[in-house]
Amino acid sequence: MRTTLTVTTAAALALPLGLGAGAASADEPAPSAPPVAALDEHRSSVAQAVADAVAEAQRQARARTFGAPSESGAQHDVKAALDQALADTAAGVPVGVVGRVDAPGLHWSGADGTRRLDGRGPAHAQDRFRAASNTKMMVSTLVLQEFERGTWTLDTPVVEVVPAAAAVVPDPYEDDVTLELLLTHRSGLPDHLGPLTGNRMTDPEDVDEFFEVLGEEYRKADHLAAMDDQPWLFEPGTDVSYSNAGYVLLGLALERATGQDVERLLERRIFAEAGMRHSAFPDDPGARGPFLREAAYTGNVGAGWYPLDGFDPSLFGAAGAVTSTTADLQRFTEALVTGDLLEPETVTDVLTPRTTGSAVLPDYGLGVYRLPDPCQEGAWLYGHDGASYGTLSITLTSPDADRQVTVALTGRDLTTLESDLTTALVPALLATC
């Protein structure tokens, strides 16, 4: 049992790519750590960029910058603006970008740039990409399906379902770290990706070595050991801190309760049910067919550009290994909010935020967050974003799924906290108004 309890937050990861890091506590010097800059641990950067894009779309919608797609002659102008936004995105650091908008009177999809860092193969609208933390919406749905089956309740402590979690959860909190708190990032369990990769490195400041260890396999025991490498952040339920580790534990809970691995559960209960014909949950490196190949840009640190063809998705697991397309992500969000995957009352619970007004997360429910609808005062859009080492993506839907937006890119700039998604996201949101 883990008995040593530290409530203060762990020292921020060392970020040799030029990103600022939070200070360590006054009693602890900042330890060396791997260069995992601009990943999901830095939720505030991605979340703030998306929130800024929504606010800008709202401002422009109020000023009637765009005509409604249903108006005569406006649809052509809107589609041209969407195409230009993708071109503007690909003209920056990103290598390739894809987008999709579905709204009354408008159905558009597009792409710009290339699939690969070396320029081979133009990007196409139907290309697959690593959806990263969009996976969390799907894993949450599986957890809630088990809730509906009576396997557990949201108040079930994770140690009851995953006995190995007792080595991670501090003794005083074993009854308090529930499935709901893991789903909503309110458990206090710190993110573990830094220690997970750092344990494989001889020099934690070596960027080349960091990208090399991304190609190694990470087993369940490795994930659990990395979770135990850090101090607990806070008393369960009293704060919020984004944690990929929580969703890895949820994946273990699903596998123990059902006797099936997460890949099989996603294939049967999510992909097949939602009509996601081009989605997968890989556990080995590599990608076949039309795929936006991941790449990371590190500026004047290291090699500058790193192709990530050898990335092993076992590093992310149930927290972010899904690969998908813009069309498939919208099929999923539509199936989710319209009740094809869960009972209506469960859907309402999923969309109801447990965290509001946080500087770390948007209003966060059970694996899904909400943002103000820029087109309708007082209304909301629901979805999630995904930030891997080489990709960024976001998918949002109205509660009735009549209006949906998805944007994804590869060729991620790790030298800045800004999100390259916003160039394409603002006009995409406006197009649904």
pLDDT band at 9 (very low <50, low <70, confident <90, very high): very low
The pLDDT of residue 417 = 64
3-state secondary structure 235-267: CCCCCCCCCHHHHHHHHHHHHHHHCCCHHHHHH
pLDDT band at 325 (very low <50, low <70, confident <90, very high): very high
Residue 10 has pLDDT above 50, yes or no: no
Q: Copy the structure tokens of residue 121.
A: 């193969």
DSSP states of 311-349 as a string?
--GGGTGGGT--EE-HHHHHHHHHHHHTTSSS-HHHHHH
Evaluate whether residue 47 is within a structural domain.
yes
The pLDDT of residue 47 = 77
The pLDDT of residue 196 = 94
- Please, what's the b/e burial string for 215-249 (b: 16 or more CB within 10 A of its CB; e: otherwise)? eeebeeebbbbbbeebbbbbebbebbbbbbbbbbb
Q: Please write the tens of the pLDDT for every residue from 138-167.
A: 999 999 999 999 999 999 999 999 999 999
Q: How many domains does the chain have?
A: 1
Provide the residue count of the chain.
Answer: 433
Say which CATH number the domain at 172 has.
Answer: 3.40.710.10
Q: Which amino acid is at 337?
A: V
The pLDDT of residue 32 = 39
Evaluate whether residue 317 is within a structural domain.
yes
Residue 421 has pLDDT above 70, yes or no: yes
Residue of 415 and 97 predicted with greater confidence = 97
Residue 2 has pLDDT above 80, yes or no: no
Q: Please write the tens of the pLDDT for every residue from 160-200.
A: 999 999 999 999 999 999 999 999 999 999 999 999 999 99
Residue 375 has pLDDT above 70, yes or no: yes
Evaluate whether residue 17 is within a structural domain.
no
Among 50-54, 234-238, 324-328, 402-406, which stretch is predicted with the lowest mean pLDDT?
50-54
Evaluate whether residue 197 is within a structural domain.
yes
Cα 246 from Cα 253, distance rounded (Å): 11
What's the CA dihedral at 381, 382, 387, 391 to 10 degrees? Answer: -70
Evaluate whether residue 37 is within a structural domain.
no
| Arithmetic mean of pLDDT over the chain | 88
Cα 112 from Cα 143, distance rounded (Å): 36
Residue 208 has pLDDT above 50, yes or no: yes
Cα 263 from Cα 322, distance rounded (Å): 9
Evaluate whether residue 27 is within a structural domain.
no
Residue 84 · residue 103 · CB < 8 Å: no
Q: Please write the tens of the pLDDT for every residue from 12-58.
A: 222 233 333 333 333 433 333 444 443 444 556 777 788 889 989 99
Average pLDDT over residues 301-327: 96
Residue indicated by tokens 């014909």? 277
Average pLDDT over residues 288-299: 92
Taking Cα atoms as reference points, which of 233, 155, 224, 145 lies closest to residue 192?
224
pTM: 0.90
Evaluate whether residue 28 is within a structural domain.
no
Specify which residues 395 forms β-bridges with.
Answer: 384, 406
Q: Copy the structure tokens of residue 64.
A: 């009637």
Evaluate whether residue 35 is within a structural domain.
no
Average pLDDT over residues 374-383: 95
- Please, what's the b/e burial string for 117-142 (b: 16 or more CB within 10 A of its CB; e: otherwise)? beeeeebebebbbbbbbbbbbbbbbb
Q: How many helices (H) and strands (E) would you count in the chain?
A: 14, 12
Could you give the percent of the chain with pLDDT greater than 90? 77
pLDDT band at 233 (very low <50, low <70, confident <90, very high): very high
Cα 98 from Cα 406, distance rounded (Å): 8
Taking Cα atoms as reference points, which of 266, 295, 259 lies closest to residue 282?
266
Among 202-211, 258-267, 362-371, 416-425, which stretch is predicted with the lowest mean pLDDT?
416-425
The pLDDT of residue 359 = 82
The pLDDT of residue 419 = 72
pLDDT band at 74 (very low <50, low <70, confident <90, very high): confident
Residue 61 · residue 430 · CB < 8 Å: yes
Could you give the percent of the chain with pLDDT greater than 70? 87
The pLDDT of residue 64 = 66
The pLDDT of residue 6 = 29
Residue 326 has pLDDT above 70, yes or no: yes
Residue 7 has pLDDT above 60, yes or no: no
Range of the domain at 420: 43-431
Residue 121 · residue 114 · CB < 8 Å: yes
